Structure 1
Amino acid sequence: MRSVAPIADRSASKSARTRQRIVDAAAAAFRRHGYASVTLKDIATRAGLQAGSLYYHFDSKEDLIDAILSAGVDAAITATRDAVEALGPGADPVARLRAAIAAHVRVVLSEESHASANLRILGQLPDAIRERHLKQQRAYGAFWAALLRDAARAGAIRDDLDLSVVRMLTLGALNWTTEWYRAGRCSPSEVAAHAATMILDGIVRGASPRRRRG
């Protein structure tokens, strides 16, 4: 005889699924239309709910935005860490960078990912909301900084480059793909391959390095 989950557990599970459906619907709406033009009613309609039902799960639009921002950065962190760790601890540092670039691009270009919605609306949000997520964003930046430092220590990166600038330019270029990418011309994996080639061929040794200024 199959065991039956307690009513409280089933109710909690249903509530969690509904909450996730709301977050997914909001991410899709923000990704397509931006922050300011999307209302809670729009999100409720997309989620197949009454507008008032949203307030059972989220106190406000800002509360919902917080959930999307956290989910977006978490998705990027998880994808890039998993891709790098899959190579093993002794992997070539340039291969680790290449894997991180590919994973980041795949996440931000995924229609199902909250990371793409995150990037689409981040610049439109009030400062107070953005500041609440700085710690999470800095942790992701630190992960990339460590990848670049490891490559530099291995002698793989030109010594005339500032690693902080390289990191910011790299992430800026990868994140900007959400603004111009349209499915059909090429796949996210092909975009990732192009990005890795352009970025890494520009910073690894053998690409006509100049003497560091100063």
Structure 2
Amino acid sequence: MSSRALILDTAAELFSTLGYAGTGVRQIANAVGIQPASVYHHFTSKDRILEEVLRIGLTQTLRCTRDTVEVLPAEANCRDKVEAAIDGHLRGIYTNLAYTATNIRFHGQMPVEVGKRLRPLRDGYSDYWRVLLQEAAGAGFLQVGLDVSMARALILGGLNRTVAWFDLEKGELEPLIHTAIVTYGGIWTKNRALKVRAMDRKQGG
């Protein structure tokens, strides 16, 4: 692992537990086993370290979500796609939790300029979900009167908040994904096209 990657991994662990405000460059350097000057060789400031940690976490979640949707068979319908996105979002969060937890737990501590630089990435992911849900609404898959923007916020907010109570070391991810999909099942008016979801195929061998 490169020094830069080690700094980022260490910073992500510290940010995710202590918060941005509670973590200093010297703490990161000490945890890595290097001098603070060596950290500044790779990053000009703590803000830039945080920005890269958040960028990695956001990109990871976006990629995992899209990949999970894109591998669906051609007959998949709007419901299959949204439920696959729920699956992918949770897998993205827990693939490298320190990075994504930093973003979820301490979003309010993010420096304004860091937030501005990351806004295109955040907006792009939000738009991805908006399109999925709008397509579902347009095809008559969502309950009449359901507000797509509210639904998106409730789904993503609920999935993200699992980091506050779900411990991957004590439980398995598959039941969490299944429970999330069932919990949000009330938004639908139509069934899936796919009789067996990807998770169920894995469990059934």
Cα distance in 1, alignment partners of residues 74 and 116 from structure 2: 34
Q: Tell me the equivalent position of 1:210.
A: none
Given the alignment of the two structures, is residue 86 of structure 1 paired with residue 76 of structure 2, yes or no? Answer: no
Q: CA deviation at 1:72?
A: 1.2
Instruction: Look up the match of 1:136.
Output: 121
Which residue of the other structure, out of 87, 93, 97, is the alignment partner of 1:108? 93
Cα displacement (A) at 1:90 = 3.9
What is the letter of the counterpart of residue 158 of structure 1?
Q
CA distance in 2, matches of 1:119, 1:66: 14
SS of residue in 2 equivalent to 1:109? helix
Q: For 2:133, which of 148, 156, 163 is the aligned residue?
A: 148
- Aligned partners of 1:126 and 1:32: how far apart in 2? 18
Which amino acid in 2 is paired with 1:100? A
Q: Which shows bigger deviation, 35-44 or 120-129?
A: 120-129
Aligned runs of 1:1-214 on 2, under 5 Å?
A: 17-112=2-97, 114-199=99-184, 201-205=185-189
Contact 2:62 2:92 in 1 (8 A): no
- Aligned-pair identity (%): 32
- Aligned structure 1 segments of 4 or more residues deviating by more than 6 angstroms: none
| 1:133 alignment partner, SS class | helix
The residue aligned with 2:200 is none
Q: Is the 8 A contact 1:30 1:117 kept in 2?
A: yes
- Residue 171 of structure 1 and its aligned partner are, at CA, apart by 0.6
1:103-127 Cα offsets, whole Å, 9 max, x none, are: 1112223445522222122111222
Larger Rg: 1
> In the superposition, relative to structure 1, how do residues 45 and 93 fare at CA in structure 2: closer, same or farther (>3 Å)?
same
Q: Secondary structure at the match of 1:193?
A: helix
Distance 2:14 2:99 in 1: 11
Deviation, structure 1 residue 68: 1.0
The one-letter code matched in structure 2 to 1:202 is G
Instruction: Give, in whole Å, the separation in 2 of the partners of 1:113 and 1:139.
Output: 22
Query: CA offsets per residue over residues 119-166 of structure 1, 9 Å max, x none?
Result: 122111222322221111010000001111121222211121010110
Q: Distance in 2 between matches of 1:89 and 1:128?
A: 42
Could you list the runs of 5+ residues in structure 2 that have no partner in the other structure? 191-205
Select the structure with the greater relative contact order (CA < 8 A; seq sep ≥ 6). Answer: 2
Which residue identity does 1:204 align to in structure 2?
A: W
Change (3 A) 1:77 1:113: farther
Q: Residue 5 of structure 1 aligns with which residue?
A: none
* Kept after mapping to 1: 8 A contact 2:16/2:98: no
Q: CA shift at 1:36, angstroms?
A: 1.0
**Equivalents in 1 of 2:71, 2:51: separation in Å?**
30
Cα distance change of structure 1 residues 179 and 97 upon mapping to structure 2, 3 Å threshold: same
Question: Residue 60 of structure 1: CA displacement?
Answer: 0.5
Q: Is the 8 A contact 1:70 1:133 kept in 2?
A: yes
Work out whether residues 47 and 111 of structure 2, in 8 Å CA contact, stay in contact via their aligned partners in 1.
no
Structure 1 length normalisation: TM-score?
A: 0.82
